[in-house]
Structures are given as C-alpha cells and as structure tokens.
Amino acid sequence: MSEKKNLPRSEEVRQRRKRAEERALVTHSMDRRTRRTPPPSVTRNVSVDAATVRSTSRPVRQYQAVIAAPAAGRLHAPAMPRIRVGWRLLSFFLVTLLGAGLYYAYTLPMFHINSVTLLGNQYLSAEETGAALRLNGMPIFLLEPKNVEKALRLNFPEIASVDVTVELPNRVLIALTERQPVLRWEQGNAFTWLDAQGVALRPRAEVGGLVAVRALGAPPSGPLSALDPLSPIPFADARIVETARVLAPYAPQGATLLYDPKYGIGWNDARGWTVWFGASPDQADMKLRVYVVLADSLTQRGITPIMINVAYPNAPYYRLGQ
C-alpha cells in the first residue's frame, strides 16, 4: 500500500483543515490588496465543508449614528431668501426721489410765501416791509433768514434788531425791535425824528412828548458803531441829543430849543436875549445855576444883552447889542 493510504483518519482531517486555512489566508490577503469584494460565484456540484464556510464568511459591521436634537428655545425659522439691490439702482432711486421732492417744493403753491407776519412793530407796517423785501410768491426753501435780516436793517434805520423765523409750509415771522424817537429835529423846511443815539428816523405818526429842536445849521454826525456794522451813521452826535433832553425841562414855557453849530443848545429868553449852554451835557446843573445868577444880576443892573453864553460855567460871558 502507498503512504497516503497508510495515513490515519485523524491525520487526513488535520491536513485537510490546514489546506483550507491556507486557502482562506490567501483569499484574505488578496481582498486587502484589491479592496474590492469579488462578485459572488456559483459553483455547482461542489461540497463545502464547515471549515470553508467558516473562513469565507465575514461579519457585517453595524454603525449607530446619534443625531442630537436641538435644545428647546433654540429653534430657528427657516432663512428667507436675500434680495440684493445694486448700488446703481439704489442711487437712481434716491436721485429720482430727491428730484421729485425739489420739483414739488418749487411748484406747489402751498410752499410759496404769501404773507409776512410782523411782531413787535410800533411804527413800521407789514405793507412797507413786504414792499421792500418782495417775498410774496417766493418758494419758502429759497428764503435765507440772515439775508432778510440784513435787508431790513439796511432799508429801515428805524430797526434796532430783527430776528427772522421760517416755518413750513410757507410762514415767515419777523420779530423786530424799533428805535424810539426822543427828539423832533427841525432844520430848514423839514423835520425828522432822532433817537437817543442820534439816528434819524422817518416820522410815521404823531408822537407826543418829543423834545422839539430848531436847528440853525447841520449838527456833526456821530461815530459809526463798532459793535453793530449794520447800524446807520447817526445824523447827530449823541451828546447833542442828550444835552437837549437834559435842558428841555428848564426852558421857558412855550419856548423852542435852538441849536447852533457854534454855540450848541439854547433858547430865546423872554427878557430879550438868547442863552447858549454848549453841546455837552456835562455840568448841566452848574451851567443852569450860573445862568440864573448872571441873568438876575444883569436885570438888576438894567443891562439887556443880546446873548449869554454859559457853555463854560467857570468863564461865562454875555454880549451887548450895538
């Protein structure tokens, strides 16, 4: 008998298992190299033992995925699609809107000035200011308050200060402060009003209580205000105006104050002479006392001068007629 036949039964089973394990190892190494699962093959009339089935069957791995649910209160609504508008389109829209607004602002009657409201006026009227400014029919957006204030001050010296307020749609408020006349200055065949600073004002009404001065010549003008460039040049020096106001209560009843460019303020005395007090209000009380004493002394002595001058109370003098 041959050697194969002499092998015991157990040895044959052991060799058969060994060969099966070798075939399984070869198959596993080939799967690792190719990483591909060979297609299943159908073999007919082939007996497969338990070792072969055990070596070829591979367990299927199972994976469990855990998906975390969102916490309560953190649910978000689905995002809305974004609408993107180009900057060119946005610019065109804004320019169109602005152009339409300007067009309607210039054309609609509701934005045109139809009247001016004056506040604080005593002598000026709305008709006078309106005729000078010509604001009626102007678009309210073209009105510049500073220009209106300047125009009023230049056209009406009677205005000491002014404030212009613009209210939409078409209202203009002008609050002004007028200069108050204190003197009625008569010169030649005309007269004017003067305020305390000597600014000439156009008479617009009959005002009582004004000191009347009849001028025999033009007075020196006052200095221009350094603080207010829009203030007009005073017609007369403010010291002359103050002198007339101080002496007016002491003038004889019914007498009119006189002004002479050389002698200042004075009046005609009923006793036949003219008295002059100068053009300065300084030492007005002293001048009046000196005049009373000198006039009484001349009357007692029977002297009737044509002029008494007490502009300098320390050196008064009088002049006799020829």
Residue 12 inside a domain? The answer is no
**151: domain CATH number?**
3.10.20.310
Residue 124 inside a domain? The answer is yes
Domain count within the chain: 2
Asked whether residue 241 carries a pLDDT value surpassing 50, the answer given is: yes
Asked which of 56-65, 166-175, 248-257 is least confident by mean pLDDT, the reply is 56-65
The three-point CA angle 20-22-26 to 5° equals 115
Whether residues 255 and 146 share a domain: the answer is no
Summarize the confidence of residues 4-20 as an average pLDDT.
Answer: 71
Cα–Cα distance measured from residue 155 to residue 6, given in angstroms and rounded to the nearest whole number: 149
Summarize the confidence of residues 281-308 as an average pLDDT.
Answer: 95
What would the two tokens of residue 137 be? Answer: 């029919």
Judge contact between 172 and 116, C-beta under 8 A.
yes
- Burial classification of residue 54, based on how many CB atoms lie within 10 Å of its CB (0-12 exposed, 13-18 middle, 19 or more buried): exposed
In this predicted structure, what is the pLDDT of residue 105? 65
Judge contact between 175 and 163, C-beta under 8 A.
yes
In this predicted structure, what is the pLDDT of residue 50? 45
Whether residues 215 and 299 share a domain: the answer is yes
300 conformational bin, left if phi > 0, alpha if psi -120 to 50, beta if neither: alpha
Range of the structural domain that residue 190 is part of: 183-319
The three-point CA angle 126-132-138 to 5° equals 85
Asked whether residue 235 carries a pLDDT value surpassing 90, the answer given is: yes
Residue 91 inside a domain? The answer is no
Three-state DSSP at 97 gives helix
Quote the percentage of the chain above a pLDDT of 70: 76
Residue 104 inside a domain? The answer is no
Summarize the confidence of residues 142-166 as an average pLDDT.
Answer: 93
Asked whether residue 175 carries a pLDDT value surpassing 80, the answer given is: yes
Whether residues 187 and 315 share a domain: the answer is yes
* Residue reference for tokens 């939409």: 168
Residue where a domain terminates, one of 178, 194, 229? 178
pTM for the complete prediction? 0.66
Cα–Cα distance measured from residue 322 to residue 307, given in angstroms and rounded to the nearest whole number: 12
Asked which of 97-101, 183-187, 207-211, 296-300 is least confident by mean pLDDT, the reply is 97-101
Whether residues 204 and 116 share a domain: the answer is no
pLDDT band per the 50, 70, 90 thresholds, residue 8: confident
pLDDT in tens, 125-137: 888 898 889 888 8
Residue 4 inside a domain? The answer is no
Residue where a domain terminates, one of 178, 209, 238? 178
The three-point CA angle 314-319-322 to 5° equals 165
- Burial classification of residue 270, based on how many CB atoms lie within 10 Å of its CB (0-12 exposed, 13-18 middle, 19 or more buried): exposed
CB atoms within 10 A of CB 297: 11
Residue 51 inside a domain? The answer is no
Residues 6+ apart with CB under 8 A from 278: 243, 263, 264, 265, 287, 310, 311, 312
pLDDT mean across residues, the chain? 82
In this predicted structure, what is the pLDDT of residue 83? 60
Residue where a domain terminates, one of 154, 178, 202? 178
CB atoms within 10 A of CB 57: 8
pLDDT in tens, 34-87: 555 555 544 454 444 444 445 445 555 555 544 555 555 555 556 666 666 677
The number of helix segments (H) and strand segments (E) in the chain equals 8, 12
Whether residues 199 and 241 share a domain: the answer is yes
Which DSSP state fits 36?
A: S
Quote the percentage of the chain above a pLDDT of 90: 51
Whether residues 235 and 276 share a domain: the answer is yes
**302: domain CATH number?**
3.40.50
In this predicted structure, what is the pLDDT of residue 302? 94
Please state, in angstroms and as integers, the Cα–Cα distance from residue 85 to each residue in 88, 91, 94, following that order.
8, 10, 13
What would the two tokens of residue 226 be? Answer: 């350094």
Which of 271, 272, 264 has the alpha carbon at shortest distance from 309?
264
Looking at per-residue pLDDT, the higher value among 241 and 209 belongs to: 241
Whether residues 281 and 222 share a domain: the answer is yes
